[in-house]
Copies of this chain bind each other. A is one copy, B any other.
Amino acid sequence: MPLEIGAESLSLLKVGDIARRTGKTVRAIHLYEELGLLNPAVRSKGGFRMYRGDGVKRIEWIQKLQDMGFSLTEIKVFLRVWEESATAPKAMATVREIFTDKLRETRETIARLTRLADELSESLAFLEGCRSCDQGQHQRECGGCGRSDHEVPLLVDGIAKR
């Protein structure tokens, strides 16, 4: 008769194993548990958290949502909504809603960052002209060059003020 404990521990991972496989720290995993994002499958009789392989998947999922800009608290809400949905289609509908919102938000962020990148490019183009500035001029006298005010981008203009 084989040892049940041995057979069990073959497929169960300790928190440190999960940490290594996900790149997270043990502390982070503990935190996720405190927040209700991930529970160990069982505890060893000594109290060790024992996880199944899908614990790794759950953490990768959390990571991805974090990358998308969800806070851990939002992720928690996400899970609760899921768990409280009586039927699968209803649960999926909620998930679709959340994802749709986040997709819109992400696209807005992309648009905003694109505008900022454009501004940066403009500023850099403007700064090219500063190469030919009188080499001995002190930075405090910057602004004294011939370039008219309205062509100075805000990103550059703000520095020299004061």
A77 at the interface (CB under 8 A from B): no
B103 contacts A133, CB within 8 Å?
no
- Tell me, in angstroms, the Cα distance from A92 to B136 when the chains sit together: 13
Q: Which of B107, B138, B156 contacts A117 (CB 8 A)?
A: B107
Taking A54-B162, A127-B99 as contacts, is the C-beta distance between A87 and B138 under 8 angstroms? yes
Query: Digit string of A121-148 for contact with B (CB within 8 Å is 1, else 0)?
Result: 1011001001101111111011001000
Q: How far is the CB of A133 from chain B (nearest CB, A)?
A: 5
A64 at the interface (CB under 8 A from B): yes
Query: Digit string of A60-87 for contact with B (CB within 8 Å is 1, else 0)?
Result: 1110110110000000001100110111
Q: How far is the CB of A118 from chain B (nearest CB, A)?
A: 10
Contacts of A67 in B (CB 8 A): 112, 116
Q: Which 3 A-B pairs have the closest CB atoms?
A: A61-B158, A92-B130, A91-B139
Give me the interface of A with B, judged by CB distance under 8 Å.
Answer: 38-39, 54-55, 57-58, 60-62, 64-65, 67-68, 78-79, 82-83, 85-93, 95-96, 99-100, 102-103, 106-107, 109-110, 112-114, 116-117, 119-121, 123-124, 127, 130-131, 133-139, 141-142, 145, 154-159, 161-162
Besides A86-B138, A99-B155, 7 more A-B contacts (Cβ < 8 Å) are A57-B157, A61-B154, A61-B161, A67-B112, A89-B130, A89-B135, A95-B127
